[in-house]
């Protein structure tokens, strides 16, 4: 019998899809719910920040942080979660790498505000809000560069089972290690030696649902993406976009992808380059904020 543990689930800038995936466990939630004393979960119950701030240091056994820091309020909440939690989990690819919103690190904050509040086509009387809003951060710095975490669980979102497995391990004081495997290792598709002569968008041609999508010229990133999701996209004939990020032994997801594509492509460099009009969006779907490119840009901006 596991002793009840105090848990807090906090949301920074995010879509809250990681919460949704947890709730999608439905009756399987009963495997862990009786062992959890929920002390903060504003996605589900009307907790206020003050409820969290007034808890004692390390009084939460397990803290789950979803989302990344786009506002000063996010940074405050992240630091409070670190202070109050014994075991802090970076929950989902937003929390581990910065998430899809990290792609905004390709632009300066002023350019983003300008586009979002003044120039977007649907706005007629644009203004940048200044009152009663938390200040925006200059860029998205990955949570893991702001505070220390005890466990990271990537995924956009992590599957319901991933979260259940991690929670069960923590509740039973067992380790939860990420596998150094890729989506390809979990994928049932037939594959051949790769000599790709042309890349295609998913709406081009007809996908053979039994054969490796990359062999067919569709950009499937399973070869560079951690194998945690059970290859749920390629096994439904949909290319992997790499939403879980790289396996632990890969430092920079996009760099790994570019190097592998160079090795398996049988085409001139110019044609390969032209195949990917949005290389950052294609190769760093959820983890651009934690890439070398983004960090170099941030350092250059700070040095200006
Ligand atoms: S990791 Fe994905 S599902 Fe989870 S909050 Fe971020 S965007 Fe949503
Ligand atoms: S379809 Fe994708 S995940 Fe499956 S083997 Fe090919 S590259 Fe790997
Ligand atoms: S197959 Fe790829 S894109 Fe699909 S859920 Fe898994 S990691 Fe994400």
**CATH class for the region spanning 5-101+132-171:** alpha beta
Ligand nearest, relative to CA of residue 101? 1
Is the distance from CB of 90 to CB of 23 less than 8 angstroms? no
Ligand 1 surroundings by CB, under 6 angstroms: 14-18, 66-67, 92-94, 99-100, 156-157
What spacing in Å lies between the alpha carbon of 219 and ligand 3's midpoint?
12
Alpha-carbon gap, residue 216 to 42, rounded angstroms: 45
Residue ID of nearest Cα to ligand 3 atom 6: 229
Q: What is the pLDDT of residue 2?
A: 56
Q: What is the pTM of this model?
A: 0.95
**Cα within 13 Å of Cα(228), Cβ side:** 31
pLDDT of residue 35: 94
User: Can you give the C-alpha Rg of the chain in angstroms?
Assistant: 21
Ligand nearest to the CA of 240: 3
Closest ligand 2 atom to the C-alpha of 213? 1
Whether 229 lines ligand 3, by a CB cut-off of 6 Å, is: yes
pLDDT value at residue 194: 82
Q: Which residues of the chain have pLDDT under 70?
A: 1-2
Tell me the domain boundaries of the chain: 5-101+132-171, 183-297
Q: Identify which ligand lies nearest to the alpha carbon of 152.
A: 1
Tell me which residue of 178, 28, 157, 50 sits closest to 100, measured CA to CA.
157
Residues 241, 284: Cα–Cα separation, whole Å:
9
Which of 126, 122, 158 minimizes the C-alpha distance to 14?
158
Q: Is 108 left (phi over 0), alpha (psi -120 to 50) or beta?
A: beta
b (16+ CB within 10 A) / e for 187-218: bebeeeeeebeebeeeeeeebeeeebbbbbbb
pLDDT at 119 (0 to 100):
94
* pLDDT at site 130: 87
Nearest CA to ligand 1 atom 7: 15
């Amino acid at each position: 019998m596991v002793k009840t543990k105090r848990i807090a689930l906090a949301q920074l800038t995010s879509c809250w899809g990681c919460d949704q995936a947890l709730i999608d466990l439905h009756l399987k939630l009963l495997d862990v719910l009786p062992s959890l004393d929920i002390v903060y979960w504003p996605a589900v119950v009307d907790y206020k920040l003050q409820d969290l701030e007034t808890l004692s240091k390390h009084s939460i056994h397990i803290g789950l942080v979803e989302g990344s820091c786009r506002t000063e309020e996010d940074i405050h909440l992240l630091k409070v979660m670190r202070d109050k939690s014994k075991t802090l989990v970076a929950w989902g690819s937003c929390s581990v790498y910065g998430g899809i919103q990290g792609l905004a690190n390709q632009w300066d904050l002023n350019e983003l505000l300008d586009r979002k509040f003044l120039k977007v086509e649907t706005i007629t009387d644009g203004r940048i809000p200044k009152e009663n809003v938390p200040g925006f951060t200059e860029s998205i710095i990955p949570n893991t560069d702001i505070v220390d975490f005890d466990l990271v669980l990537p995924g956009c979102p992590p599957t319901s089972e991933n979260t259940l497995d991690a929670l069960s391990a923590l509740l039973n004081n067992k380790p939860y290690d990420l596998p150094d495997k890729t989506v390809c290792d979990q994928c049932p598709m037939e594959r051949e030696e790769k000599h790709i002569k042309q890349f295609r968008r998913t709406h081009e041609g007809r996908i053979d649902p039994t054969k490796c999508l990359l062999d067919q010229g569709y950009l499937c990133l399973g070869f560079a993406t951690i194998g945690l999701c059970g290859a749920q996209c390629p096994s439904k004939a949909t290319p992997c976009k790499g939403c879980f990020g790289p396996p632990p032994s890969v430092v920079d997801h996009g760099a790994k992808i570019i190097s592998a594509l160079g090795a398996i492509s049988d085409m001139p460099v110019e044609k390969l380059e032209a195949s990917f009009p949005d290389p950052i969006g294609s190769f760093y779907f959820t983890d651009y904020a934690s890439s070398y490119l983004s960090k170099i840009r941030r350092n250059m901006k700070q040095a200006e």
